[in-house]
Amino acid sequence: MPYSSESNKCFDWNIGLMAIKYWEYEDAPLKEKLKNVNVKEIAKIFFDNETEAYRLAVLLLQVKKDGTMRLKDVPQSIPIATAKRYLDFAVQTGLLKHEDNAYALTDRFSKPFRNIAVYIKEWMDSKAEEDLALEFPNARTDKQRKRGGKQIVRELNEVEGSLQKHEAENADAKA
């Protein structure tokens, strides 16, 4: 599910995990990409999944053609609720703006994206000590217990078998 307002998450991944392959956007490859720009490349930055990328591409292309898009103008191939999640995601990433119940293209994406790169570079160069326990006080830091799998099933079967054997021995001892 792309966007849930309750959990404030974008799709099933974190925005920080975009599918950017940095070597595709260095100077020389970028010059080649700029010769033939298309919406597929934009959608593939945000989604590795072909279906999710297609849905975003359809909506972005429609907004580009019409200038703005209202939910009632969403193409028939995409359900309105799904389109709303994708359009809201595009607003969060700065590709679109949402004003007067209409979505329109915006260029807010470019400056913040460059700023993210500057911030990351600055962090890499800094020598400051960081205490993650203070920075993430509510994070779960303990190792998760196993929730299933063949090993757990085998262990449960062994425990049940030994319990049954133990109960049988106790029953024999009482008799």
Within 13 Å and on the Cβ side, how many CA atoms surround 115? 5
Phi, psi angle pair for 122, to nearest 5°:
-65, -40
- Contact call for residues 132 and 140 (beta carbons, < 8 A): no
- Contact call for residues 19 and 44 (beta carbons, < 8 A): yes
- Contact call for residues 48 and 78 (beta carbons, < 8 A): no
Q: Identify the structural domains of the chain with CATH numbers, from first to last.
A: 3-112 (1.10.10.10)
Q: Structure tokens of 107?
A: 């260029």
Residues 6+ apart with CB under 8 A from 91: 97, 98, 103
- CB count within 10 Å of CB 55 equals 22
Q: Structure tokens of 29?
A: 């490859």
Q: Mean pLDDT, to the nearest integer, of 111-121?
A: 75
Q: Mean pLDDT, to the nearest integer, of 111-116?
A: 72
- In the prediction, which pLDDT does 7 show? 42
Q: Which residue has the higher pLDDT, 123 or 72?
A: 72
- Contact call for residues 15 and 46 (beta carbons, < 8 A): no
- In the prediction, which pLDDT does 86 show? 95
- The model's pLDDT over 45-79, given as tens digits with 9 standing for 90+, comes to 888 888 999 999 999 999 999 999 999 999 998 99
Q: What is the pTM assigned to this prediction?
A: 0.59
- In the prediction, which pLDDT does 175 show? 67
Q: Mean pLDDT, to the nearest integer, of 19-33?
A: 70
